[in-house]
Amino acid sequence: MKSPVFSVIIPAHNEEEVIEKAIRSIQKQTFSNFEIIISNDGSTDKTREIVENMMKKDKRIKILNREKGHSAAYARNRGAEGARGKILIFLDADTFISENTLEEIAGVKLNVDAFAFDCIPKNNTLVNYALSGLVVPIVAKKNIYSKEDGSPLMFFCITNTAFKKIKGYDESIFYFEDEDFSKRFYKAGYKTAFVPKVYQYFELPSDISGFVRQAKWIARGLNSIKNANFRRRVKLFWLFKTVFLIFPLTMIFDKNLFLLSIIITAGFTYISLIKRNRNPFKSLMALPFLYAKTIIICYKLILKSIQDRIK
């Protein structure tokens, strides 16, 4: 059988509400030479049933089932092991891509091994933006990025050859495995092309439970940093941020100093949000959630440190 140009790999753990939409976004592509690999990581809902029903109508869909759940990095690596495509695209189950994505990537004639494109929130509501702290899409300034650029673009699309060369995703890292993956890619001397007119749509927190879950994931990811010295520096950084934000509480018995310290700390934080997101009103709405997220993350980091010392 002729090998496909693309292997689209989707890790899935209890994704019955979104997995069909993710698959449909691939099936609607204007470029049809692809395979879809669902790496079913211990789902206990109807994820497997939904995918297997879709497989009956489209032979390009495959599923890899495991009884026990692991992590996104693990699921991606297992999906890539059997991938036959020249180019691998890693999508989360709650994301989908524009219909021209594969065609545009296939048309790139540059000598690169990865492809980056704009990531846009599915829902642009004020609630989504406030809870997430406002996520800004990629704004590329040139066509090709390499390690010489300092902070190169992250990506979810890579050649099979380069993926194997850098040995895939680090399965010991949680949440920030994408950043580590990109860093190792550039360190190996590879380059990324930014592909215009292509979009990946992703989910932002839409309620308080999603907001808290995301904060906990960030803390868990920071705790998974392998380098002990770097991990300590990260924890000190978040501790400093938290102390800075709650510092006004030390002035609570002096109304004037209390108000002044709130104006200084909240004002500085608000200005940094505006600088990042370029929207004064939405930045103001995000401000209290930034406070809450910082405190939750710091609390989880400190709690993990205490638990490690007890052990």
- pLDDT averaged over every residue in the chain: 91
- Model confidence over 106-163: pLDDT tens digits? 999 999 999 999 888 887 787 888 888 766 666 677 899 999 888 788 899 999 999 9
191's tokens = 């380059």
> What is residue 137's predicted lDDT score, i.e. its pLDDT?
63
- Region 168-177: mean pLDDT is 91
> What is residue 123's predicted lDDT score, i.e. its pLDDT?
77
Please report where in the chains the tokens 């949000």 appear, as a residue.
Answer: 273
Q: Which residues contact 256 (CB under 8 A, 6 or more apart)?
A: none
Q: Could you tell me the pTM of the whole model?
A: 0.87
> What is residue 138's predicted lDDT score, i.e. its pLDDT?
64
- Model confidence over 178-226: pLDDT tens digits? 999 999 999 999 999 999 999 999 888 888 998 999 999 999 999 988 8
Q: pLDDT tier at 19 (50, 70, 90 boundaries)?
A: very high
- Region 275-292: mean pLDDT is 88
> What is residue 1's predicted lDDT score, i.e. its pLDDT?
58
- Model confidence over 50-71: pLDDT tens digits? 999 999 999 999 999 988 888 8
> What is residue 59's predicted lDDT score, i.e. its pLDDT?
94
> What is residue 139's predicted lDDT score, i.e. its pLDDT?
66
List helix spans (H) across the chain. Answer: 19-27, 47-55, 72-81, 101-106, 126-132, 160-165, 177-187, 208-223, 228-246, 255-277, 280-310
pLDDT at 266 over 70: yes
Q: Which residues contact 132 (CB under 8 A, 6 or more apart)?
A: 121, 204, 205, 211, 214, 286
pLDDT at 239 over 90: yes
Q: Which domains does the chain have, with CATH numbers?
A: 6-202 (3.90.550.10), 208-310 (no CATH)
